[in-house]
Copies of this chain bind each other. A is one copy, B any other.
Amino acid sequence: MLYLEDLFVGQRFESAEHLVDAEQIKKFAAEFDPQPFHLSEEGAKCTLFGTLAASGWHTAALTMRMLVEAVPLADGLVGAELQLAWPKPTRPGMRLRVVAEVMEIRPSNSKPHMAIVTMRNETRDQDDQIVQLFTVKMPVFKRPT
| A86–B77 CB distance below 8 A | no
Q: How far is the CA of A81 from the CA of B32 in the complex (A)?
A: 19
Which residues on B sit within 8 Å (CB–CB) of A55?
64
Question: Does A9 interact with chain B (Cβ within 8 Å)?
Answer: no
| A84–B82 CB distance below 8 A | yes
Question: Does A145 interact with chain B (Cβ within 8 Å)?
Answer: no
Least CB distance, A74 to chain B, in whole angstroms:
11
| A75–B61 CB distance below 8 A | no
Query: Interface readout for A61-99 with B: 1 if CB under 8 Å, 0 if not?
Result: 110110010000001111111111110000000000000
| A75–B62 CB distance below 8 A | no
Which residues on B sit within 8 Å (CB–CB) of A81?
83-86
Q: How far is the CA of A35 from the CA of B60 in the complex (A)?
A: 16
User: A residues within 8 Å of B by Cβ?
Assistant: 28, 31-37, 47-48, 55-57, 60-62, 64-65, 68, 75-86, 139
